[in-house]
Amino acid sequence: MKIKIENTPLYIVPAGEYHIVFSKIAEKTDPDTRQPYLRITWDVLYPNTQYYQYRLAKNYTIEGGSSSELMSDLFNIFGEDLDHLIDETRKLDTDKLIGETADCFVYTIQNSKYNHPFSVVSKLLPSGTFEFNQKYR
């Protein structure tokens, strides 16, 4: 018997350096605090595997100002060139992030609640910061 192997999305990403693309942005509500937050999901472009589509996600509080963690990460990626993401009312248009690329560092932590490590996006950087062997691109 032959079983087809799909390129399955996988959020358990090994520690390392990755080239990523913004793929999904959703506003969610924390069930405990009832506070809204933004969840950004990235697809790993490379390095990747031929059997899994690595995905990363990070939650951000929804707060204004350039001192927020979201704005800090965006400054790390785009520098001062954020005009293409800001609308005419000086608000960040998160829809414009979809398709943008970046590089990132990922580390893993073990949480006793789970039987697998938790992948943490620790630093976002401009696209092209790292050089990759693009075998599975």
Contacts from 73-80 at CB under 8 Å and sequence distance 24+? 73/124, 76/123, 76/124, 76/125, 76/126, 77/102, 77/124, 77/125, 77/126, 77/127, 78/126, 79/126
69 part of a folded domain: yes
User: Nearest Cα to 108, choosing from 15, 37, 4, 24?
Assistant: 15
- Residue 136's pLDDT is what? 40
pLDDT in tens, 94-116: 999 999 999 999 999 998 888 88
Give the number of other Cβ atoms within 10 Å of residue 87's Cβ.
Answer: 10
Give the number of other Cβ atoms within 10 Å of residue 121's Cβ.
Answer: 19
pLDDT in tens, 1-36: 998 877 788 888 999 999 999 999 999 999 999 999
- Residue 49's pLDDT is what? 73
39 part of a folded domain: yes
Considering its fold, how many domains does the chain have in total?
1
100 part of a folded domain: yes
pTM equals 0.86
59 part of a folded domain: yes
Whole-number Å distance between alpha carbons of 40 and 81: 20
22 part of a folded domain: yes
Strand 8-10 relative to strand 52-61, pairing: parallel
Give the number of other Cβ atoms within 10 Å of residue 132's Cβ.
Answer: 15
pLDDT in tens, 2-11: 988 777 888 8
132 part of a folded domain: no
Domain span holding position 58:
8-126
86 part of a folded domain: yes
